[in-house]
Structure 1
Amino acid sequence: MTCICIGPVCIPIYSVLPFLAMFFMKIWAWISGKPADDKKTDGASSGQASTAVSENLRKRKGGPANVITMESTAQWKEHLALSSDAKPLIVDFTATWCGPCKRIAPLFAELSGKFPDAMFVKVDVDELDDVMGACGVRAMPTFQVYKNEKKVDEVVGADSSKLEAMVARHAL
């Protein structure tokens, strides 16, 4: 078998050929002045299509699209300001490396479908550590409920029965 060896790593020549073919196709397209991606569209832009898909996901009960992931501190403050007695803000403080967070995430998404009158948001503590500090989060996962911009309840840990009871208590 013919191989290309670079140091201690040997790669079969047959796995390099598809890469080279794709590379030369892009170069040929660039030399000939044609765009490399001549994709035919059906009139809808990809942005419109993705918006339609996300709207359909939001309508689906129990889907993960009912949980909004906080991207910035400003977004967090906007959602916190929207919290009220009638529309509580239920927050999942989580981390990508946290095993218990991953295990309880499907339940949190399911609860967001069962209680549509509440806002369910997810805060990644590694990305928004200032929000984590302001909310007094010391362990993951931590679930908090806010009404009128004030914390009214909290569950620390991946205890599904406590989480369900807290959400039922405040989201009805």
Structure 2
Amino acid sequence: MATIDLTGAEFDATVTDNDIVLVDFWASWCGPCRQFAPIYERVSEKHPDLVFAKVDTEAEQALAASANIRSIPTLMIFKQGYLVFNQPGALPPEALEDLVQQVTDLDVEAALATQQD
């Protein structure tokens, strides 16, 4: 699928209507964001079954504020509508691939049950 641009109007539906959604919050003036962009794009091409989205924090300031973005790039990952990963900073390709595998393998129901105990 490669990456899609995500707006505030589409955010909730995208997160709830797809099993796994990765969201890269970025800005064009951000050096680390520009370094992370090709890594994110390459990994997205290897996982066409997942949604890889990008949010331009300059164009979508209200969405960035509601997501409590304080530093960019910030990567958020949602599985079955739940936020399961939220971390600022660019990741190397191997770390992003490993993270994708961990989230794919994650049993959300079991994780939620553990949190409630």
Normalised TM-score (structure 1):
0.55
Separation in structure 2 between the aligned mates of residue 137 and residue 97 of structure 1, nearest angstrom: 16
- In structure 1, the residue matched to 2:95 is 162
The number of equivalent residue pairs is 104
What residue number does 1:123 align with?
55
Unaligned runs of 5+ in 2: 106-117
Question: Displacement of 1:131 after TM fit?
Answer: 1.4
Give yes or no for contact 1:115–1:171 (8 Å, CA) kept in 2: no
Aligned position for 2:10: 75
Structure showing greater radius of gyration is 1
Question: Residue in 1 aligned with 2:44?
Answer: 112
Deviation, structure 1 residue 81: 2.0
The answer to whether the Cα contact below 8 Å between 1:101 and 1:158 also exists between their aligned partners in 2 is yes
Distance apart, 1:135 and its partner CA? 1.7
Please report how far the alpha carbon of residue 164 of structure 1 lies from its aligned counterpart in structure 2 after TM superposition: 2.9
Q: Which amino acid aligns with 1:116?
A: P
Consecutive unaligned residues of structure 1, counting only runs of 5 or more, are 1-57, 59-65
Q: 2:57·2:64 contact (CA, 8 Å) conserved in 1?
A: yes
1:136 to 58, 68, 71: 68
Quote the RMSD (CA, aligned, Å). Answer: 1.6
User: Whole-Å Cα distance in 1 between the matches of residues 49 and 12 of structure 2?
Assistant: 19
AA matched with 1:80? V
Give the whole-Å Cα distance in 2 for the aligned partners of 1:127 and 1:111. Answer: 24
Question: Cα offset for 1:148?
Answer: 2.5
**Deviations, residues 124-148 of structure 1 (Å, cap 9, x unaligned):** 0111122112222210001110122
Report the alpha carbon displacement of residue 149 of structure 1 after superposing the two structures with TM. 2.2
In 2, Cα distance between equivalents of 1:75 and 1:126: 16
Q: Is this contact kept in 1: 2:3–2:41, CA < 8 A?
A: yes
* TM norm structure 2: 0.79
Kept after mapping to 2: 8 A contact 1:83/1:89: yes
Percent of residue pairs bearing the same amino acid type: 30
- Runs of 4+ aligned structure 1 residues displaced above 6 Å come to none
